[in-house]
């Protein structure tokens, strides 16, 4: 809980020396603590605390070195009451104070998929009060909202995945801590990286402006009777499904291998010169580079866990 620039100006404030079961406040420093008592095998005392300051109670068996932090507190502007078990050997205690440690945003990249609903809490780490999150207006993917309590919610649209042809977003995020008795609220800004992946159903098969629009271009010839079946769900029609319908390509190839564009016959048959049979769609018009790249991206982003 200590920040890097902790200061040790309370170093000399030795609170008490415990010797032979007696509590001995050090003269001159003793005013720093009050309500000292030994109750059973525990030492009790109180000290005043300030906001925006952290306090560590440290313990050592000798006065000069070997201080070990045993308790830590965030200052609240009011007295802090301490209770410490007595150790067998004579022990010294001191209070060390430092600035309240900063807190930070713990913004890991977020991966979403067009059409799949999201409810994802974002995180901050460190000691902080109640936080209010704001995402930069218009910077979030279409269909996604950032709620004040720090949750990403919604369903990213097909257009969200096609944004800039890479579906990547860098969203400026501002997080404000509420004022509290620990001190005035602090504000932290950060950038949230979001990727919205393409969906077969809504970006590849559906009719989209720059999409391969497979339903439109392929379903006239390819369906359940003549694979690849572009109408079936991709898991049964394409993904890890072996070729073999046309004769020209044999049956050792696979229409779509998740993450492997070069190993996906579907992409090869749509590109310049396929290694087997004719370029698709048969007779043309062929796909533009942009349409082909979108198909390649869907395959690259696809994982074995995906169903679309």
Positions 173 through 232 that interact with ligand HEC (CB under 6 A): 214, 217-218, 220-222, 227-228
- Residue 13 or 222 having the CB closest to ligand HEC: 222
Residue 259 Cβ vs ligand HEC, minimum distance, rounded to whole Å:
18
Which pair of tokens denotes residue 59?
A: 């313990």
Least CB distance to ligand HEC at residue 212 (A): 6
Smaller CB separation from ligand HEC, 84 or 249: 249
Residue number, 175 or 270, with CB nearest to ligand HEC? 270
Q: What ranges in the chain are assigned the alpha helix state H? A: 158-162, 214-218, 234-237, 265-270, 289-301
Stretch that binds ligand HEC, among 80-88, 159-167, 201-209, 269-277 (CB under 6 A): 269-277
Positions in 37-56 near ligand HEC (CB under 6 A)? none
Phi and psi at 217, nearest 5°, equal -90, -15
Handedness of CA 66, 70, 74, 76 (dihedral sign): negative
Residues 226, 232: Cα–Cα separation, whole Å = 12
CB 56 within 8 A of CB 3: no
In the complex, minimum distance from the CB of residue 260 to ligand HEC, in angstroms, rounded to a whole number: 15
273-292 binders of ligand HEC (CB under 6 A): 277-278, 280-283
CA 225 to chain centre: 45
Alpha helices in 200-264 (DSSP H): 214-218, 234-237
Q: Which of residues 231-250 bind ligand HEC (CB under 6 A)?
A: 243-246, 248-249
Q: What angle do CA 147, 148, 149 make, to 5 degrees?
A: 90
Does residue number 102 form part of the binding site for ligand HEC (CB under 6 A)? no
| Spatial separation of the C-alpha atoms in residues 16 and 240, rounded to whole Å | 73
Tell me the closest approach of the beta carbon of residue 271 to ligand HEC, in angstroms. Answer: 11
Q: How many residues belong to the chain?
A: 308
Give the residue with the Cβ less far from ligand HEC, 93 or 255.
Answer: 255
The helix (run of H) or strand (run of E) holding residue 255 is: none
Residue 70 or 296 with smaller CB distance to ligand HEC:
296
The residues that touch ligand HEC, with contacts defined as CB under 6 A, are 214, 217-218, 220-222, 227-228, 243-246, 248-249, 255, 265-266, 269-270, 277-278, 280-283
């Amino acid at each position: 809980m200590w920040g890097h620039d902790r200061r040790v100006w309370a170093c000399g404030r030795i609170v008490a020396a415990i010797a032979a079961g007696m509590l001995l406040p050090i003269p001159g420093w003793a005013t720093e603590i009050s309500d000292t008592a030994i109750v059973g095998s525990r030492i009790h005392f109180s000290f005043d605390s300030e906001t925006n300051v952290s306090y560590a109670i440290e313990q050592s068996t000798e006065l000069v070195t070997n201080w070990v932090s045993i308790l830590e507190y965030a200052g609240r502007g009011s007295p802090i009451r301490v209770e410490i078990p007595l150790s067998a050997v004579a022990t010294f205690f001191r209070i060390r104070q430092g600035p309240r440690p900063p807190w930070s945003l713990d913004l890991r990249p977020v991966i979403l998929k067009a059409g799949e609903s999201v409810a994802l809490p974002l995180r901050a780490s460190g000691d902080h009060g109640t936080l209010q999150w704001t995402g930069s207006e218009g910077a979030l993917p279409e269909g996604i909202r950032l709620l004040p309590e720090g949750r990403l919610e919604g369903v990213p649209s097909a257009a969200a995945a096609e944004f800039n042809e890479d579906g990547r977003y860098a969203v400026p995020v501002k997080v404000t801590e509420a004022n509290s008795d620990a001190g005035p609220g602090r504000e932290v800004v950060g950038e949230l990286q979001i990727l919205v992946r393409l969906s077969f159903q809504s970006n590849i098969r559906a009719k989209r402006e720059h999409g391969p629009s497979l339903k439109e271009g392929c379903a006239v010839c390819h369906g359940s009777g003549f694979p690849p079946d572009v109408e079936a769900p991709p898991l049964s029609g394409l993904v890890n499904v072996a070729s073999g319908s046309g004769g020209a390509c044999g049956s050792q190839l696979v229409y779509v291998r998740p993450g492997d564009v070069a190993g996906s016959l579907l992409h090869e048959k749509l590109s310049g010169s396929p290694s087997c049979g004719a370029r698709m769609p048969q007779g043309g018009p062929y796909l533009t580079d942009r349409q082909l790249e979108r198909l390649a991206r869907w395959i690259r982003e696809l994982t074995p866990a995906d169903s679309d």
